[in-house]
């Protein structure tokens, strides 16, 4: 078993999020303090078919490293082939998704559906490890499907015996989705029984909350998802090197850099459609955010984006 990068197991990393944690956002988060990143979920079946969409998700920049590639699917053989495919692409580790709770993923027996079939999940870990050619393999899980069907407390040892070098634990059950506080006692039980590092995920509403979660359950690191959308400054605050939000004059340069990075790696006709969701999140918390968001969802050019940012700056100065 090869150890996962310490930047992932003991740092504050950006979690994979479909539609948000693309290459552009990962670069910005790394620059602002994320110790490592993980790609959006990539379908192992899509890789087998050489799907253009799946292959596009594998694009990355050297500025994102250390970088893990997250794979999802349901068949061990597909994982072995996919791990073999990505092992020579320059990624620093392979992450297996066994936590996504959305129905589209569950319908293919993937993501959190694997929590209902631990033998299959462990076979997937073995298969990915066999195909990884020495690249570290990590596993992202939830506590179980629901409180009546939790994962074994010893899931870390079970996964490690099959080749996993670290776990990331979202401290909720699938039936919790993203609602309610994380369940710290259950997280702590998995951490205590695990022979490999455990990274805590969920409930990262602020850097302080994320650090409390890590310390309360005894995890070695933090994996931050939704708390960082529109707030990449989260990572520097978690590291104690800056504020959790943009300082004066800091918002526009970061947002425009994000847009520029997206334009560099995405066909122009799709850029602004994809960027609108990012822009809406950057504007959360600003005075007049509702009116700003209504404009943000209609931007069609860099000039439109600059106009929205100038209005946001003017509103902030008026407070």
**Overall residue count recorded for the chain in this entry:** 319
Burial 258-287 (b: 16+ CB within 10 A, else e): bbebbeeebeeeebbeebbebbbbbbeebe
Instruction: At 302, list the tokens.
Output: 């860099």
CB 69 within 8 A of CB 97: no
Are the CB atoms for 138 and 170 separated by under 8 Å?
A: no
- Helix axis angle for 118-131 and 76-86, nearest 10°, is 30
Q: Reduced to 3 states, what is the DSSP secondary structure of residue 169?
A: strand
For 118, 161, 182, 274, the CA distances from 202, given in Å and listed in that order, are 22, 26, 6, 25
Helix axes 302-318, 289-296, angle to 10 degrees: 180
Q: Which helix (H) or strand (E) holds 166?
A: strand 164-170
Please identify which of the residues 12, 29, 37, 100 carries the catalytic annotation: 100
100 is catalytic: yes
**Is residue 302 within a helix (H) or strand (E), and if so which, with residue range?**
helix 302-318
CA distances from 156 to 139, 199, 304 (A): 9, 11, 49
Element (H, E) at 222: strand 221-224
The residues annotated with a catalytic role in the active site are 100
């Amino acid at each position: 078993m090869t150890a996962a990068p310490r930047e992932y197991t003991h740092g504050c990393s950006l979690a994979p999020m479909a539609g948000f944690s693309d290459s552009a956002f990962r670069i910005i988060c790394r620059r602002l303090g994320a110790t490592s990143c993980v790609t959006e979920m990539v379908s192992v079946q899509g890789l087998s078919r050489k799907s253009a969409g799946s292959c596009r998700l594998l694009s990355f920049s050297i500025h994102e490293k250390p970088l893990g590639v997250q794979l999802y699917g349901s068949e061990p053989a597909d994982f072995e082939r996919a791990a073999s495919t990505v092992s020579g692409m320059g990624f620093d580790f392979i992450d297996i998704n066994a936590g996504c709770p959305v129905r589209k993923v569950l319908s293919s027996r993937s993501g959190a559906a694997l929590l209902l079939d631990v033998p299959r999940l462990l076979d997937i870990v073995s298969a990915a490890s066999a195909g990884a050619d020495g690249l570290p393999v990590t596993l992202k899980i939830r506590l179980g499907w629901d409180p009546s069907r939790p994962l074994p407390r010893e899931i870390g040892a079970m996964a490690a015996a099959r080749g996993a070098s670290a776990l990331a634990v979202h401290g909720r059950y699938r039936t919790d989705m993203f609602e309610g506080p994380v369940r710290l006692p259950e997280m702590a039980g998995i951490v205590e029984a695990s022979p490999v590092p455990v990274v805590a995920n969920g409930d990262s509403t602020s850097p302080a909350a994320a650090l409390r979660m890590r310390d309360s359950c005894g995890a070695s690191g933090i994996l931050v998802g939704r708390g960082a959308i529109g707030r990449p400054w989260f990572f520097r605050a978690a590291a104690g090197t800056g504020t959790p939000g943009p300082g004066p004059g800091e918002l526009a340069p970061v947002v425009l850099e994000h847009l520029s990075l997206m334009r560099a790696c995405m066909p122009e006709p799709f850029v602004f459609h994809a960027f609108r969701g990012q822009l809406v999140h950057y504007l959360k918390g600003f005075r007049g955010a509702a009116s700003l968001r209504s404009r943000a969802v209609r931007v069609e050019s860099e000039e439109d984006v600059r106009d929205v940012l100038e209005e946001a700056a003017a509103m902030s100065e008026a407070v």
